[in-house]
Chains A and B, each alone.
Chain A
Amino acid sequence: MEPSDAQTLAGARETRPTWPAPLPASDDTRPLYDRIQDVIALYPERKSAVVPALRLAQDEYGWLSEQAFDAVADATGFTPAFCKSVASFYDMFRLTPTGRYEICVCTNVSCALVGAAGTMRAFERELGIHPGETSEDGLFTLKTVECYGGCGWGPVVSVNERYHEPLPAEQVPELVARLRADAEPDA
């Protein structure tokens, strides 16, 4: 997010990086099958493409449904069961439908020491759901996650894979309101 603020006293060499603007979404509109073939071509062995293919399928379908697994299996030449066994190992694969905004709150040690519990509770209050649940309107899924690698800038939260760091509890209502407004521009 923002570069380090005035908290950094003269002489200290804390050098928080500035984050680049996100790259634009891929404009590759070819079928999933063809895009997976490109990925397969990058590796000496086809199987290495399974995880990247699952990611492409998840982006396409929103979550890894039966249909998504069939598509990955077809395109990579492995069985759906194999693809499922791989997917279930990794936390970022969604095996159930997820809200439009997936909110992940890091509750590991460094974040917990600087207020992650408050941030997590604030999301519970604002969204009316507990971690692991999706709001009834299908807008939000709340999750707690393990260390995100932003420990010095905690509490760390991601919204659809983009980090917000730090996101203290007080800023949660504003963020949620903004996401709601973005989801319903006319409301």
Chain B
Amino acid sequence: MTTDLRILLDFDGDRRDIGDYERAGGYRQLTKALAGAPEDVIAAVDGSGIRGRGGAGFPTGRKASFLPKDRKPAYLCVNADESEPGTFKDREIMLRNPHALIEGVITMSFGIGATSAFIYIRGEYRAEFEVLMTALQQARERGFVGADVLGSGYDATVVLHRGAGAYICGEETALLSSLEGERGQPRSKPPFPAVAGLYAAPTLVNNVETLASVPYILEMGGAAYAEIGTERSKGTRVFSLSGNVKRPGNYELPLTATLRELIEGHGGGMPDGRTMKAIIPGGSSAPILMPDQIDTHIDFESIAAAGSMAGSGAIIVIDDRTCMVQLALRVSEFYKHESCGKCTPCREGTRWGVDIIRRIEMGEARQGELDLLLNVCDRILGNCLCPLGDAMAMPVASYVTHFRDEFQRHIDEGGCPFTEHSPISGLYHEPAAVS
């Protein structure tokens, strides 16, 4: 069965204790890598074809090769900010397999010649921060982290840095601003972090899942890893499944699986005999897919071809009770709240979007405001400094496109026809109106 392969989380329970991790073969790839040349690490990662698991899906080996070899200092930054709504996989990796992340970080640092690594973990992840702190301490005691790792002459400094609550700090340049002690606002690219990143030094930013995969890639060999998946989407990915589904949770699947295998096979399908209304396939910034697209494959290209994006690997299932206007309101409120305010289309557009959608939901919108909403989305799309503006405009436009009648009914009937049944209702309407 194609969906029966796990790499990163191929065990029950956890391997928080370094002994458990080492018994399972852990830290051997680091030991081997340190005995060879740094380029070998990057070559293996490049050969595996793995693409970043943070959202953008950029080939990891290629990104690493952009760093100039001779400029020091150079840094590796681990993106553990995980805040795209629907996404909770990095957290599970950190909780269950923290040493795979640490081994991946040190190995990759060695590969790019980084002088230190910074793990930027979202401030809310307190238990996960404590797990990493304990794991790092164990790794230090065993000589895998610190000065002169395993007598190789390579010094690996790792700093665990906690964020303080801001979604935008997951965007890589905002992460760097935040790590430097500023407000977490994105910077325009170029220059790319590979050239001028943290403290203006060459910097590689990678997601937790990407880096935790590195030891397994080295163990299997890049070519063997590249045999898993599709032509352009390699390996396995940990998918976060949530919303109206019987068995939500994280599921690691090879990139040949379909949404149906994930949602119905692993997730058990819809609870209480309900029917599906829509699927969000890549975190809340992804345009929705319709139930008849459930046989779409979950690799980057297939989801893009279906009209959405694989994004952070978060799949949210929406059932037939849900009011799409309320969903649009909740999603747009989020991006408005997280807009850093640096550029106009996002700062103004997210506000406008929320105001219009709120009027529609509350029955205060006039005829024509639906087109105004689409117009606002259109003016945001492609006009912002970072992708956050689009992250609101894309999904909202997709809800209107697929469920225009439902939006129109709110305007025509002067209110929300679904207050009684929609699970989101209680956030916007007095409890009396909610069943």
Contacts and interface: CB of A to CB of B under 8 A. Distances in A.
A108 B164 contact: no
Nearest to B93: A17
A120 B430 CA distance: 12
Interface stretch (B30-38, B147-155, B179-187): B179-187
A113 B184 contact: no
A113 B249 CA distance: 15
Contacts of B431: 121
Given A48-B179, A115-B423, A90 B247 contact: no
Contacts of A23: 130, 133-134
B242 A151 contact: yes
B89 to A, nearest CB: 9
A117 B426 contact: yes
Contact of A14 (B179, B266, B319): B266
A42 B159 contact: yes
Interface string A154-178: 1000100111000000000000000
B243 A110 contact: yes
Interface in B87-121: 87-88, 90-92, 95-96, 116
A152 B248 contact: yes
Contacts of A45: 180-181, 199
Interface in A1-24: 4, 7-9, 12-20, 22-23
Given A20-B16, A112-B423, A112-B427, A9 B268 contact: yes
Contact of B243 (A4, A46, A114): A114
Contacts of A18: 13-14
Contacts of A110: 85-86, 242-243, 248, 316
Residue from B73, B163, B427 with most neighbouring chain A CB atoms (10 Å):
B427
A52 interface: yes
Given A110-B86, A146-B337, A17 B181 contact: no
A93 B165 CA distance: 8
Contacts of A141: none
B247 A9 contact: yes
Name the interface size band of chain B: 35 or more
Residue from B96, B134, B246, B426 with most neighbouring chain A CB atoms (10 Å):
B426
Contact of B330 (A112, A149, A158): A112
A52 B95 contact: no
B427 A14 contact: no
Nearest to A147: B85
Contact of A19 (B95, B133, B319): B95
Contacts of A9: 247, 268
Contacts of A54: 164
Residue from B163, B178, B268, B423 with most neighbouring chain A CB atoms (10 Å):
B423
B122 A149 contact: yes
A125 B64 CA distance: 53
Interface string B117-129: 0000011111100
Given A51-B163, A92-B123, A150 B88 contact: yes
Contacts of A112: 330, 423-424, 427
A103 interface: no
Nearest to B184: A89
A33 interface: no
A118 interface: yes
A45 B198 CA distance: 10
Interface string B391-415: 0000000000000000000000000
A9 B246 CA distance: 10
Contact of A44 (B199, B242, B337, B338): B199
Contacts of B184: 89-90
Nearest to A8: B247
12 contacts: A19-B95, A45-B180, A51-B164, A51-B181, A93-B164, A109-B243, A110-B86, A113-B319, A121-B426, A146-B167, A147-B85, A152-B250
Given A23-B133, A89-B340, 6 more contacts: A43-B159, A47-B180, A51-B162, A51-B163, A108-B330, A113-B316
Interface of A: 4, 7-9, 12-20, 22-23, 42-52, 54-55, 85-86, 89-93, 107-110, 112-118, 120-121, 145-154, 158, 161-163
Complex A-B, nearest 3 residue pairs according to Cβ-Cβ distance, in ascending order: A117-B426, A91-B165, A14-B249
